[in-house]
Chain A
Amino acid sequence: MFDLLFGFALLVGLQLAGDWLVTFLGIPFPGAVAGMLMLLALLVLFGERLLNRIARAADLLLRNLTLLFFGPVVALVLDAGRFAPWAAPLAVAIGIGTPLAMIALALLLKFTVPPEASAGDTAVREEKS
């Protein structure tokens, strides 16, 4: 229980610190992402000791990230009429753009990533399962 509270306090504290930092520096950057970088630096500095203290709070939030998006997604659907004129460009950008991006990236990696020992057989086997 104490670890959970400590974890939440640290995560909220770092978010506020990040918000304050980007406001202070006047840079266009999400404060929470600055907080994430600070936490990463702290983890590199303190290692497993810090990780064990904050893991529970961090996992609880990350596992349930989806819950946090019901607000915007439901509001978006209620307001869908506003975006109806953009239906065609949105369908093209998402429906065609996403597969194209995947194809481009997959080809790039196929020809730049050297094969890993025995990676081939496992891929075929796991693909079918």
Chain B
Amino acid sequence: MSGVLAMFASWQAFWFAVACIAACAMAYVAGQRLWLRLHHHPLAHPLVTATVPLVLVLLFLGVPAADWRAATQLLYWLLGPTIVAIAVPVYRQRRTVLHSMKPVLTAVLAGALIAPLLAILLVLPFAPARELLLSLAPKSVTSAIAFPVAQITGGNPELAVGIVIITGIVGGIVAPWIFAWLRIRDLRVMGLVLGVVAHAVGTARAIEMGHKPGAFAGVALALTGLVTALLLPLAVLLFAG
């Protein structure tokens, strides 16, 4: 909240914030169009394509990261209501969930455990810092949930969001190869794997594959986020407190 108030600290700060948010909006709209034209290819995600021009302009103008953070606080403040809104797609897909309770719950519970555990086991040989581990733990959940979860557990929320997005991109790219290799033909399984491991980027991919995998991916994405938000802070408190 203090950041939002800082935006009004002076006219200069205010207009700077307006300019930054307008730049984000323009970059976002252009990035979305490009992504749509490239059939939601993971590498063309707007957070990749639109970040490049924004970063170049900021580097050219010599804007420090702290100023950028303060200016874009208003966008961050919208994150809370958006997380609350995730209840709407979950409710809409209630029949999918109730009808396929067992596969959905298996995928969500197993995925919410497997993804962070694998990431943590793989970095252990590097003698990782606590901040790195806690930023990696929510790597497979939607950035909307990873951000507040990393805040609570003591990870770096920005790093967590970056990790989440790259995880989504990698997952979206390798998923079709993995499905072909393992001869996965069940559309429900494809949707669940994409939604659980590759969150929103994977869900966009699943929607391209059809209505059914899209619905399963959306449900998996929301429920994995929910389970992780419920259990990860508790796990950190119990095992790493």
Contacts and interface: CB of A to CB of B under 8 A. Distances in A.
B103 A109 contact: yes
Contacts of B200: 65-66
A108 to B, nearest CB: 6
Interface string B165-187: 11100110011101110101111
Interface residues of B, number: 110
Contact of A71 (B24, B115, B197): B24
B175 A68 contact: no
A36 B221 CA distance: 14
Contacts of B161: 69, 72-73, 76
Interface in A100-115: 100-110, 112-113, 115
Given A51-B92, A110-B184, A58 B85 contact: yes
Max chain B Cβ within 10 angstroms of own Cβ: one of A39, A68, A126:
A68
Nearest to B164: A69
Contact of A35 (B84, B103, B185): B84
A1 interface: no
B79 interface: yes
Contact of A113 (B119, B171, B189, B196): B189
Interface in A1-34: 8, 11-12, 14-15, 18-19, 28-33
Max chain B Cβ within 10 angstroms of own Cβ: one of A15, A64, A97:
A97
Interface string A84-101: 001011101111111111
B84 A71 contact: no
Given A30-B149, A105-B110, A127 B126 contact: no
Given A71-B73, A89-B132, A127 B209 contact: yes
B200 to A, nearest CB: 7
B88 A55 contact: yes
Contacts of A109: 103, 106-107, 184, 186, 189, 192-193
Interface of B: 24-25, 27-28, 31-32, 45-47, 50-51, 54-55, 58-59, 63-65, 68-69, 72-73, 75-76, 78-92, 102-103, 106-107, 110-111, 114-115, 118-120, 122-123, 126, 128-129, 132, 136, 139-140, 142-145, 147-149, 151-153, 157-159, 161-163, 165-167, 170-171, 174-176, 178-180, 182, 184-190, 192-193, 196-198, 200, 209-210, 225-226, 229-230, 233-234, 236-237
The 7 closest A-B pairs by CB, nearest first: A71-B72, A30-B148, A32-B83, A28-B233, A58-B85, A11-B81, A39-B87
Interface of A: 8, 11-12, 14-15, 18-19, 28-33, 35-40, 43-44, 51, 54-55, 57-59, 61-62, 64-79, 83, 86, 88-90, 92-110, 112-113, 115-116, 119-120, 122-124, 126-127
18 contacts: A31-B148, A35-B83, A38-B84, A43-B88, A66-B47, A69-B165, A70-B54, A71-B75, A77-B51, A83-B159, A86-B128, A86-B132, A90-B136, A101-B197, A102-B175, A104-B110, A112-B106, A127-B176
